[in-house]
Amino acid sequence: MNDVTQRELLQTFSRLADTLVDDYDVVDLLQVLVDSCRDLLDTTAAGILLADSQGRLELVVSTSEASRLVEMMQLSAEAGPCIESFRSGRRVSVPDIEHTHDEWLQFRGAALAQGFRSMDALPLRLRDATIGTLNLLRAAPGDAPEDDIMAAQAFADVATIGILHERSIRESEVLSQQLQAALNSRIVIEQAKGVVSHTRGVPIDEAFTLMRDYARSHNLGLSSVAARLVDRSLRL
């Protein structure tokens, strides 16, 4: 890992830490994480799934909002590396998706169709609690560099602390509310993407980029921008 990359990693940790304030936006925090994995590590795409109150994994953020990537991640949440990592609380490495076992048939077909050949699923875990997974997809087969995995797991650990927050891990009810809030934000973001896609006549992926760029340029939370788009108090 060269000096430039090391400096960028430190800057990312600093940025993640800066989000841990009273009014931080969970979705913004996680979006920074997956974008950093894509930009700094040997990763083609990344996404985070969180467990809802029933233990079902749902996609909260990803580096692309293309429907095929979202669907593929959800397939893995049902039978694939994501759910295995979540249940075991351990990293699940898939150096060649083409040769995964038949129980992951749907995930394998969807991943290969989109050009992904290898993957790592890393748990979002604090002590004995696993609340989701960070999922790294690559276009080439083979094992990920260990330095990349160490950095990604460190990112995931920071994000986990951010989600749980030092004040919310004391009460399980608060923890449940915090996780549910992130999942609810995802629903509003999905609705907002549809609004922007329709009004601007652009694909869903581009609609999300417009939303994210607006939020960052105006120093607003992504969830807040999405809510204003849905209730029509904001137009892009």
Taking residue 48's Cβ as centre, other Cβ atoms within 10 Å add up to 29
Query: Which of 3-7, 93-97, 177-181 has the weakest average pLDDT?
Result: 3-7
Phi and psi at residue 49, to the nearest 5°: -115, 135
pTM: 0.73
For residue 19, pLDDT over 70 is answered with no
pLDDT of 208: 93
Looking at residue 140, its amino acid is A
- Higher-confidence residue of 157 and 196: namely 196
Average pLDDT of span 71-77: 85
Q: Please compute the mean of the pLDDT values over residues 75-101 and round it to a whole number.
A: 93
Bridge partners of 134, per DSSP, are 48, 122
Within a 13 Å sphere around the CA of 58, how many CA atoms are in the beta-carbon half?
A: 17
**CB-based contact 225:214 (threshold 8 Å):** yes
Identify the CATH number of the domain defined by range 3-168. Answer: 3.30.450.40
The more confident residue out of 159 and 234 is: 234
Tell me the pLDDT tens digit for each residue of 104-157: 999 999 999 989 999 999 999 877 889 999 999 999 999 999 989 999 998 888
**164 pLDDT band (50/70/90 cuts)?**
confident
